[in-house]
């Protein structure tokens, strides 16, 4: 059959043309295209990998942040507690001090009062003594004539006046 | 969506126009045959012979005929390169008389042959083949229509893929765009699903060949669908050559394991070995043979079916013009359907040829695993 018989000339040209196509495309098309495709695929793979890594790092970082936050919270609580303690201490100390001061002042006041009272008592005793002497003088001047007897009696009277 | 529809519409209208062009060509043949018939044998030659028309289309030719309008033939003469008794000869096919009815020569057996004999003894016979009436042997290396179409396809492929390769280096590590984007899936498909699937880690060595075969077959199948174009992959010379490439590559890359399985299939009794070796050796040749027949038959058959469907119009048209018009509606519908099928077959046959080549190479380089 004419249709099935391969012609030599066409076979020759097919060989030549196909080999030409193969070598030109291999050098100028398939090599660069396949290389670029491979490079791009590898690029995408590494990009995905690094994204995965970044994600993991991010998770780590978040965990770290949480930890730091928790620590900070604890620190805050601690500091607050300390501050409260110090406050309490200071306030306590201050009130203690105030109490002591007050007590001291009170004691001083009491002592002053005592001293003044004593001074006043001495003054009063003296005054009373003078007064009594004056009174007795006036009374005795009338009744007693003898000086010696009079003086003894007065002293006896003064000694009896003991106010405290 | 609208854009897709536009593309679809473009393809459909292109296929429709393809049908009309085919029809136009065949119509011209009918007119020609009726005309020559009237001059020579009025009663016999008047009928339209679809077989001749179809075989003329399927076969190769020394000129590229585009269309004819009346007596005007738009055809491109192609160079003839012949190695005969007088050495190499080079001339354009237009040197043979196109009309082919002016001069008659008697060949060696006294048979009358139509055509113009060239001074150097070559003659173009009624089938458009170059022959020598003196019976001397010669080799025909002419740039025929198939060769010209193949040259065009090679040029197109080189242009397309070097441009795309350039785009890969300018758009380095970026998403593909345009034509590069359109063809990248096919390149990846051949690389991953044809080459890597069958050849594993040795795929890189064979991928350029597989890619070249795939796109070479595909583009020639597609070009063949254009009316007036050549039927490159529906020609046994082309498919034989491609299958020979497969044959050579498979058997050159065959390892010890491959030859061991052919000549001494392990685990087979010695008595049976000659038979099995014979069968295996046969297999070495039948595998590429099946490849070449499959590709040739599929593509040639597609062309024959489309031409037959279009020829129906003229067969009915000869009965009555009304029947011709009526059948044209049906024929165009069927022809359109077949054209769409052929678009698919064009890709499918390229895929099948490449895949089987890859599988055969894969069998030849397979390492023993026990």
**Domain residue ranges of chain B, discontinuous segments joined by +:** 79-142, 146-364
Tell me, yes or no, whether A12 lies in a domain: no
Chain A contacts of B164, Cβ < 8 Å? Answer: 29, 33
Q: What is the pLDDT of residue A132?
A: 80
Q: How many CA atoms lie within 13 A of A129 on its CB side?
A: 13
- Measured CA to CA, the distance from residue B216 to residue B204 in angstroms comes to 19
Residue A99 pLDDT: 92
Q: What is the pLDDT of residue A79?
A: 95
> Which residue segment(s) compose the domain that A113 sits in?
40-160
Interface with chain A: mutation pick from B51, B139, B141, highest number of A CBs within 10 Å: B141
CA–CA–CA angle B153, B156, B158 (5° rounding) = 110
Looking at per-residue pLDDT, the higher value among B41 and A118 belongs to A118
> Is residue A115 classed as helix, strand or coil in its secondary structure?
helix
Instruction: Please give the pLDDT value at position A24.
Output: 95
Chain B residues within an 8 Å CB radius of A17: 147, 150-151, 154
Say what the pLDDT of residue B83 is: 87
Q: Which of chain B's residues have a Cβ under 8 Å away from the Cβ of A13?
A: 141, 143, 147, 150
Question: What's the pLDDT at B37?
Answer: 41
Subunit contact A22:B59, Cβ cutoff 8 A: no
Residue A9 included in any domain: no
Task: Give the Cβ contact number of residue B39 at 10 Å.
Answer: 9
Total structural domains within chain A: 1
Residues in A closer than 8 angstroms to B58, CB to CB, are: 3
Contacting residues of B for A3, CB less than 8 Å apart: 55, 58-59, 236, 300
Distance from CA of B158 to the nearest CA of A (A): 6
Closest C-alpha to B81, from B166, B147, B23, B18:
B147
Residues 144-183 of B with CB under 8 A from A: 144, 146-147, 150-151, 154, 157-158, 161-162, 164-165, 168-169, 172-173
Q: Compute the count of residue pairs across chains A and B with CB atoms less than 8 Å apart.
A: 124
Cα(first)–Cα(last) distance of chain B, in Å?
55
HEC sequence for chain B: CHHHHHHHHHHHHHHHHHHHHHHHHHHHHHHHHHHHHHHCCCCCCCCCCHHHHHHHHHCCCCEEEEEEECCEEEEEECEEEEEECCEEEEEEHHHCCCCCCCCEEECCCCCEEECCCCCCCCEECCCCCEECCCCCCCEECCCCHHHHHHHHHHHHHHHHHHHHHHHHHHCCCCCCCHHHHHHHHHHHHHHHHHHHHHHHHHHHHHHHHHHHHHHHHHHHHHHHCCCCCCCCCCCHHHHHHHHHHHHHHHHHHCCHHHHHHHHCCCCCCHHHHHHHHHHHHHHHHHHHHHHHHHHHHHHHHHHHHHHHHHHHHHHHHHHCHHHHHHHHHHHHHHHHHHHHHHHHHHHHHHHHHHHHHHHHHHHHCCCCCC
Q: Which of A11, A21, A31 sits opposite B157 (nearest CB)?
A: A21
Residues from chain A that touch B140, judged by Cβ atoms under 8 A, are: 7-9
B146–A4: do the CB atoms touch at under 8 Å? no
Task: Decide if A80 is inside a domain.
Answer: yes
User: A8 and B157 in contact by Cβ < 8 A?
Assistant: no
pLDDT in tens, B160-178: 999 999 988 888 878 888 8
Q: Element (H or E) spanning A54, and its range?
A: helix A31-143
- Residue A48 C-alpha, separation from nearest chain B C-alpha, in angstroms: 14
pLDDT (mean) for A96-123: 90
Per-residue pLDDT at B117: 63
- Dihedral in degrees, nearest 10, Cα atoms B199, B203, B209, B212: 100
Least confident of A54-63, A138-147, B310-319, B355-364: A138-147
For testing the chain A interface, which of B148, B175, B185, B212 should be mutated: the one with the most A CBs within 10 Å? Answer: B212
Q: Do B240 and A26 touch (CB under 8 A)?
A: no
Considering only CB atoms, A10 lies closest to which of B144, B184, B204, namely: B144
Query: Residue A36: closest CA among chain B residues belongs to which residue?
Result: B168
DSSP helix/strand/coil, A161: coil
Instruction: Tell me the angle at which helices B50-58 and B2-39 cross, rounded to the nearest 10 degrees.
Output: 120
A56-60, A142-146, B285-289: which range is least confident on average? A142-146
- Provide, rounded to the nearest whole percent, the portion of chain A with pLDDT above 70: 92
Q: How far is B320 from chain A (nearest CA, A)?
A: 33
**pLDDT band per the 50, 70, 90 thresholds, residue A22:** very high
- Tens of pLDDT along chain B (370 residues) come to 555 656 666 666 666 565 556 666 666 655 554 444 443 333 444 577 888 888 888 888 888 888 777 777 788 888 888 888 888 888 888 777 544 434 444 444 445 555 556 667 777 776 777 878 777 888 889 899 999 999 999 999 999 999 999 988 888 878 888 888 899 999 999 999 999 999 988 999 999 999 999 999 999 999 999 888 888 999 999 999 999 999 999 999 988 889 888 888 888 888 888 888 999 999 999 999 999 999 999 999 999 999 999 999 988 888 888 888 888 999 999 999 999 999 999 999 999 999 999 999 999 998 877 5
pLDDT value of position B116:
59
């Amino acid at each position: 059959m004419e249709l099935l018989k391969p012609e030599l000339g066409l076979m020759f040209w097919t060989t030549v043309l196909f080999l030409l196509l193969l070598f030109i495309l291999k050098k100028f098309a398939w090599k660069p295209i396949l290389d670029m495709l491979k490079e791009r695929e590898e690029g995408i793979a590494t990009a995905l990998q690094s994204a995965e890594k970044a994600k993991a790092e991010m998770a780590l970082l978040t965990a770290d942040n949480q930890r730091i936050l928790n620590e900070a919270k604890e620190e805050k609580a601690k500091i607050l507690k300390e501050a409260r303690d110090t406050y309490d201490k200071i306030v306590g100390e201050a009130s203690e001090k105030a109490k002591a001061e007050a007590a001291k002042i009170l004691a001083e006041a009491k002592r002053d009062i005592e001293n003044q009272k004593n001074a006043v008592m001495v003054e009063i005793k003296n005054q009373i003594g003078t007064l009594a002497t004056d009174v007795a003088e006036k009374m005795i001047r009338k009744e007693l004539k003898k000086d010696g007897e009079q003086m003894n009696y007065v002293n006896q009277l003064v000694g009896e006046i003991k106010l405290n | 969506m609208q854009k897709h529809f536009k593309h679809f519409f473009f393809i459909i209208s292109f296929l429709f126009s393809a049908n009309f062009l085919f029809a136009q060509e065949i119509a011209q043949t009918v007119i020609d045959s009726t005309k020559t018939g009237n001059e020579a044998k009025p009663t016999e030659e008047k009928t339209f012979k679809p077989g001749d028309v179809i075989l003329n289309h399927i076969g190769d030719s020394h000129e590229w005929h585009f269309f004819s309008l009346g007596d005007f033939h738009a055809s491109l003469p192609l160079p003839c390169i012949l190695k005969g008794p007088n050495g190499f000869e080079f001339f354009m096919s237009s040197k043979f008389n196109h009309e082919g009815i002016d001069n008659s020569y008697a060949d060696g057996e006294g048979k009358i042959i139509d055509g113009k004999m060239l001074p150097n003894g070559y003659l173009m016979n009624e089938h458009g083949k170059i022959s020598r009436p003196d019976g001397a042997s010669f080799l025909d290396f002419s740039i025929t229509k198939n060769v010209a179409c193949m040259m065009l396809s090679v040029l197109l492929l080189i242009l397309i893929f070097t441009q795309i390769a350039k785009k890969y280096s300018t758009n380095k590590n970026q998403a593909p765009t345009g034509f590069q984007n359109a063809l990248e899936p096919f390149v990846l498909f051949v690389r991953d699903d044809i080459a890597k699937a069958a050849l594993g880690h040795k795929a890189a060595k064979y991928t350029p060949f597989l890619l070249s075969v795939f796109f070479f077959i595909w583009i020639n199948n597609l070009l063949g669908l254009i009316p007036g174009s050549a039927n490159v992959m529906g020609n046994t010379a082309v498919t034989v050559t491609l299958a020979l490439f497969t044959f050579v590559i498979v058997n050159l890359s065959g390892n010890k394991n491959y030859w061991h399985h052919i000549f001494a299939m392990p685990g087979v009794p010695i008595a049976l070995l000659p038979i099995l070796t014979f069968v295996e050796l046969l297999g070495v040749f039948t595998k590429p043979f099946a490849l070449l027949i499959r590709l040739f038959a599929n593509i040639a058959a597609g062309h024959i079916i489309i031409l037959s469907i279009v020829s129906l119009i003229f067969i009915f048209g000869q009965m009555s013009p009304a029947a011709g018009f009526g059948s044209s509606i049906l024929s165009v519908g069927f022809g359109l359907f077949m054209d769409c099928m052929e678009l698919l077959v064009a890709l499918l046959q390229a895929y099948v040829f490449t895949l089987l080549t890859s599988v055969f190479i894969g069998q030849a380089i397979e390492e023993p695993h026990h």
